[in-house]
Amino acid sequence: MSAPKFSVTRNPAPASPQRRADVLAAPGFGRYMTDHMVTVRWTAGTGWHDPAVVPYGPMTLDPSSMVLHYGQEIFEGLKAYRQPDGSIASFRPDANAARFAGSARRLAMAELPEDLFLASLSELLAVDSEWVPEAGGEDSLYLRPFMIATEVGLGVRPSSEYLYSVIASPAGPYFSGGVKPMDVWLETEYTRAALGGTGTAKCGGNYAASLLPQSVGAQHGCAQVAYLDAEERQWIDEMGSNNLFFVFRSDDGSVEVATPDLRGSVLAGITRDSLITVAKDLGISVVERRISGQEWLGGAASGVLTEVFGCGTAAVITPIGTVKHSGGEVTVGNGEPGPVTLQLREALTAIQRGAAPDPHGWMHTLVPASASV
């Protein structure tokens, strides 16, 4: 099926060039939105219809729209990068499209076809291309596709109507002034996801449930929370929005890079998957296995665990310095970003900004150089 044609309604009052330049000079993350957004509707019996690029602005929702009561909401997050030739590309958006469909399946929502997902990004960027920062750095335009249940009524069942939308927000480099490690709270009371639950879907409900433990971690000075499995409270799953990697160095100097295997309670990060491949390209093998909280604490204490980092689209790789928990805290290595962490981060970000070859065909052009400003 070829994607249906989008109607385009230009924003009659877009940001002035000066305003846009001011925003792009210091965008932060998620604070400013571009001039337009995408909307596509789904209705049972009709399927997907009325794909449109419209001015960014408030949406009207009936108070009994199902999403407001039973939480059928899913989302994605990916970045568009200006390439050295002026084109705009994103990183593995087909993988985001596939994951979005998988999240929809788990929440009994309508599945958006992959070509419509990709077209929605290109259509938005064709109109908002001036919001994509210059090439060469880590600045990007963050894209947020999401979908909500819009059927009106309080009956508990899958909605018969959905609204898919994409909004976009310029993002500055995650680390301004060098990659800095963060402290992480190892949570032993609350869990993120149970086998058979929604942990493998990217849904707002998972994030709602993570906010209380997140604030507990923040009270201990931690930027993120690492979760243990819900059954045995022993095995590291991941953090609230990042997967985890561990670097072990044995006495003979050999290095093992490990990441928790994708048991049914871990979100399959595209950064995680890409790093496993990038590491292999660099001659570093990554094993996917169970890693216990005890192995983290004990390994950091004994020194065999030399690096730990989180990974996800927003920061790509974030080194972890100290892990804190209800019984104390321990610092990994010397608390500074380690060599494997930095090497992997540089290798992946170089592909994304178009500064290194793309041997796996991960970069997907959304707007060709000729059509972009």
User: Which residues of this chain interact with ligand PLP, rule CB under 6 A?
Assistant: 77, 202, 238, 241-243, 267, 269-272, 312-313
Nearer to ligand PLP, 53 or 344 (CB): 344
The nearest distance, CB 73 to ligand PLP, in angstroms, is: 13
Q: If we measure between CA atoms, which residue out of 132, 83, 76 comes closest to residue 363? A: 83
Nearer to ligand PLP, 151 or 238 (CB): 238
- Whether 147 contacts 74, CB under 8 Å: yes
The nearest distance, CB 115 to ligand PLP, in angstroms, is: 20
Neighbouring CB atoms inside 10 A of 153's CB total 13
Cα separation, 32 vs 238, in Å, equals 29
The C-alpha angle 155, 50, 45, rounded to 5 degrees, equals 45
Cα separation, 6 vs 3, in Å, equals 9
Nearer to ligand PLP, 6 or 246 (CB): 246
Nearer to ligand PLP, 249 or 272 (CB): 272
Nearer to ligand PLP, 41 or 272 (CB): 272
The nearest distance, CB 265 to ligand PLP, in angstroms, is: 10
Nearer to ligand PLP, 33 or 95 (CB): 95
Cα separation, 351 vs 339, in Å, equals 19
Burial class (CB in 10 A: 0-12, 13-18, 19+), 25: exposed
* Cα–Cα distances in angstroms (integers) from residue 4 to residues 7, 50, 282, in the given order: 10, 8, 41
The nearest distance, CB 173 to ligand PLP, in angstroms, is: 16
Residue 289 C-beta-side C-alpha neighbours within 13 Å? 11
- Coil, strand, or helix at residue 349? helix
The nearest distance, CB 199 to ligand PLP, in angstroms, is: 7
Nearer to ligand PLP, 36 or 192 (CB): 192
The nearest distance, CB 318 to ligand PLP, in angstroms, is: 11
Task: Output the CA torsion sign for 196, 98, 105, 147.
Answer: positive
The nearest distance, CB 142 to ligand PLP, in angstroms, is: 11
- Whether 336 contacts 321, CB under 8 Å: yes
Nearer to ligand PLP, 20 or 353 (CB): 353
Cα separation, 343 vs 352, in Å, equals 15
The nearest distance, CB 225 to ligand PLP, in angstroms, is: 11
What are phi and psi for residue 109, nearest 5 degrees? -105, 170
